[in-house]
Amino acid sequence: MSDTTPQHGGTTPPSDSSTPIDGTTDGSVGTPASDGSVGSVGSVGTVGTPASDDRLQDVVAGAPHLMTDSATDSERREGRWSDAMQSIVNGSVLTTVLAVVLALVASGILIALTDKDVQAAAGYFFARPMDTLRAVGSAVGGSYASLFQGSVINFGAPTAAAAIAPITRSVDYAVPLVVAGLGVAVAFRAGLFNIGGQGQVLIAAGTAGWVGFSFDLPAAVHIPLTILAGIVGGAVWAGIVGLIKARTGANEVVLTIMLNYVALYLLAFALRTPGLLQAGGSPNPISPATKDSALLPGLFGPRFGINVGFLVAIAAVIVVWWLLNKSSLGFRFRTIGENPRAARVAGMSVPRLTIWVLVISGGLIGIAGAYQVEGAVTTGFTSGIDAGIGFDAITVALLGRSKPWGTFWAAILFGVLKNGGYAMQAANSIPIDIVDVIQALIVLFIAAPPLVRAIFRIPQPGARRRTKQPSKRKAVAA
């Protein structure tokens, strides 16, 4: 027979060539290639897979088809949402928020244990357990309600202005923590631990206070000059540490802590010495009052606590953000913080950058010292002018993950806690030390992210994510 045997078990096509299969005019058909793909036009009468239909080729090759696009898009959308949730879970923001929640819960337990009503109700807990639970809820809920109303919004105030007044006072507490926290954060990003915030605040307050009460100048000149004096005082005091570390390699932690004591006793000596910082005619170690031309004016009037210092703090946040993320100097700071050896190989002078880091860090902390004498304590200051800002700034920088805007919001939180602590003490007879306990617990949980993730059953960063494997269908031979 002249007809060849059909391949792949197909049937023999009719000999009539008037109806071409592959669209050719000579009636020839395609010959299948040896690798299974469609070959070129071959011998007449041979049956193969048609090559003219591109859509059929796509389906055979397993490429996406119009009928399967919707499923692919759905998988992509699910992947994007899954990646977004994974980034939130692995991010530091969620861990920080949960650390604050845990600190509030632990502090609530302490409040309940120290409350007299709770202790009295616990004496007959097994007889009437609901009395104990109600006492716990009243103690903890009342304390936190007083903290909120005393530091954020007072819902019981007669006017709207009185209702929002607490948050303005909280911001007033937070302003020096913002700039001081930024100073510590800059040092942290460069791999340095500036623990000398207390000494830098004291020296800055001394220099700014001297300018504030010694000169009669217009307010437009006197206010910036006083702030500049504080910046210079803090920068010089921290620059001493940077210079010693750059020249000798001494540990900056030890240097800054020791200089805290030097600054404290130096300021105390100046406040006891007439002609230096001591107020004339006063036997007490106190400075003269800051002149009115050097005081920071309020933004919304004397009833509210926010003054121009808040704008200075916002400007400092923006400048530090630009410095660390957009400038070449900030890139060098981050480089020596992450890998000093690589910085040296790249030609960076690590000792010189160390000096600049501490100078800038001390200058930012010096703004807090200037704020203390221009906006917080304006009737004359003593050696306690630092008010713990230097050490609180370390906590703020840690809570803010050493990022400018994170430090800003962490300082606002600490301002709320500090301002609300006094209201909580007055309304519920809760010791003000509970606020310090909350801050300490926040630092504890921030320093232990694996503990926070373990408590809330959040997967650790870098853990392998289980993905759905596509089901494989076994081909069944007909």
Q: How far is CA 465 from the centre of its chain?
A: 26
Query: For residues 126 and 122, what is the distance between their CA atoms, to the nearest angstrom?
Result: 8
Query: For residues 401 and 395, what is the distance between their CA atoms, to the nearest angstrom?
Result: 10
Tokens describing residue 284 = 């007490």
Exposure pattern of 412-430 as b/e (b: 16+ CB <10 Å)?
Answer: bbbbbbbbbbbbbbeebeb
List of the chain residues with pLDDT < 50: 1-52, 55-67, 474, 477-478
Per-residue pLDDT at 75: 62
Per-residue pLDDT at 76: 64
Please give the span between the terminal C-alpha atoms of the chain, in angstroms, as a whole number: 30
Query: For residues 355 and 425, what is the distance between their CA atoms, to the nearest angstrom?
Result: 44
472: which DSSP letter? Answer: P
Tokens describing residue 147 = 């903290």
Torsion of CA 94, 95, 97, 102, to 10 degrees: 140
> Of 221, 174, 223, whose CA–CA distance to 409 is shortest?
174
Q: For the residues of 124-155, what is the DSSP string, one character each? A: TTTT-HHHHHHHHHHHHHHHHHHHHHHHT--T
pLDDT digit string, tens, across residues 114-126: 888 899 999 898 9
What ranges in 339-403 are assigned the alpha helix state H?
A: 340-345, 350-371, 389-399
pTM: 0.75
Query: For residues 223 and 54, what is the distance between their CA atoms, to the nearest angstrom?
Result: 78
pLDDT digit string, tens, across residues 37-55: 444 444 344 444 444 455 4
Q: Do 30 and 10 contact (CB within 8 A), yes or no?
A: no
Burial (CB count within 10 angstroms: exposed 0-12, middle 13-18, buried 19+), residue 321: middle
Q: Which residues share a beta bridge with 298? A: 307
Q: Do 190 and 362 contact (CB within 8 A), yes or no?
A: no
Exposure pattern of 17-53 as b/e (b: 16+ CB <10 Å)?
Answer: beeebbeeeebbbbbbeeeeebbeeeeebbbbbebee
